[in-house]
Amino acid sequence: MLRIGILGAARIAPQAIIEPAARRDDVRIDAVASRRKGAAAPYAAAHAIGKAYDGYEALLADTEIDLVYNALPPADHARLSIAALEAGKHVLCEKPFAMNAREADVMVDTARRTGKRLFEAFHDRLHPAFGRVLELKSSGALGEISEIEAAFAVHIPFSEREIRHLPDQGGGALMDLGCYPVHWLRALMEEEPEVVAASGQRTRLGVDERIAAELRFAGGVRARLSTDMSEGTPYTAYLKLTGSKGRVELDNPVLPHNGHSIRSWIDGVFRVETVAGGTSFDFQLASVVAALETGGPHPNEGADPIGNMTVIDAIYEKAGLGPR
C-alpha cells in the first residue's frame, strides 16, 4: 500500500490525486497539511482523509507517509520537495517544477543523494492520446519533421490574491500554462531546443499575461509556442506536427479525458482518432506506482524537469522579462 500525504489544501488535489487514488486498492491518501491554521481539518473531512496537520513539517515527520504530493505554489516547490526527500519520502511535485532551472537542479540532485524518487506532475504526458502522437512521430509515419506548434491559453481572472498573478509565488502565463507546450515540444522531439526569439506582455503586478516564442531543434526543426491568460481569452489547447509525409493535430492535450481528437493527414489519407481510457491523472498515478514498485525509469523525472525549467528561463530572458 502506497501511503500519500498532500502538502496544501489545494483545489487541484481532488482531481489530480484524491479521486485517482480512490479508484485503486494499492494507494491511500493518509494525510493533508496546510499552513493556514484550521484549514486542513475540514479539507480532510470533506475528502475522507484520516489525518490533518496544521503545518507542513508535521506531515513530513509522519513516518507512515511514503510519498508526498506537493500541490503548493511554485515558490514552495523547491524548499518543501527537498525537505520531503530529506525526510525519506518520494515526491510528486506539481508543475511548474520550480521557480527556475537552478532550483530544479538542486531538487533533482537531492533526489539522487537521498535515493528517493522525484516526479513532476505532467499528467498529460502519460495519457495514451499523447502517446499516440508520439508514436506517429517516432515511427516515421510523418516523415522528416519540419515544424511543430503548440499553444495553451485560458483566461485566469485577475486578482491581487490570485497566486497565478503574483510574481513572488511563481505566477505568470508561461509558468502556469505555457509550461505544458514547452513540455510537449521537448517530449516529442526528445531533445533540448534553442530559444530563438520570444515576446511577452506583463500585468501591472509584474507577471507575464501572454508569451509567444520561437524555438529551434537539431536539424533545423522549427517550433512555435504561445500562451495567454489575459481577459477574454478562450480556452485553447493544441499540438501540431508537420512532416514530409503529412501532419497530425492533437486537440486538448492538457485534459484529453475531457474530450480530444487526433487528426492526421498522412500520405493523402485523412483520419480522426480518439483514444479511450481513464483520466490523465489516473495514468499519472499508475505510472508513479509502477516506477516505485519496479524501480524503472519515469519520463517526468531527472533531467526532464531541469530541461523544462531551462527552456522556460530562456524564454523569459529572450522576452526581456528576466528569470524568477
- Any idea where the domains of the chain sit in the sequence? 2-121, 124-318
Alpha-carbon span 218 to 144, nearest angstrom: 12
Q: Given this model, what pLDDT does residue 323 score?
A: 74
Q: Where are the beta strands (DSSP E) in 140-293?
A: 145-153, 194-202, 208-216, 222-228, 236-243, 246-251, 261-266, 269-273
Alpha-carbon span 213 to 211, nearest angstrom: 7
Q: Given this model, what pLDDT does residue 160 score?
A: 85
Is 89 a known active-site residue? no
Q: Which of 51, 89, 95, 116 does the annotation list as catalytic?
A: 95
Half-sphere exposure (Cβ direction) of 131: Cα atoms closer than 13 Å: 11
Between helices 128-138 and 179-189, what is the axis angle to 10°? 40
Which CATH number is associated with domain 124-318? 3.30.360.10
Alpha-carbon span 48 to 69, nearest angstrom: 17
CATH homologous superfamily for 2-121? NAD(P)-binding Rossmann-like Domain (3.40.50.720)
Q: Given this model, what pLDDT does residue 113 score?
A: 98
Q: Given this model, what pLDDT does residue 324 score?
A: 74
Full pLDDT tens readout for the chain, 324 residues: 999 999 999 999 999 999 999 999 999 999 999 999 889 999 999 999 999 999 999 999 999 999 999 999 999 999 999 999 999 999 999 999 999 999 999 999 999 999 999 999 999 999 999 999 999 999 999 999 999 999 999 999 998 889 999 999 999 999 999 999 999 999 999 999 999 999 999 999 999 999 999 999 998 999 999 999 999 999 999 999 999 999 999 999 999 999 999 999 999 999 999 999 899 999 999 999 999 999 999 999 999 999 999 999 999 999 999 877
| CATH topology identical between 2-121 and 124-318 | no
Q: Given this model, what pLDDT does residue 18 score?
A: 98
Q: Given this model, what pLDDT does residue 225 score?
A: 98
All three cell numbers of 124: 498529460
Query: What does each C-alpha distance from 68 to 30, 84, 104, 127, 179 come to in angstroms?
Result: 10, 7, 17, 22, 22
Alpha-carbon span 282 to 15, nearest angstrom: 9
Q: Given this model, what pLDDT does residue 322 score?
A: 82
Stated as kind and residue range, the H or E segment containing 34 is strand 27-34
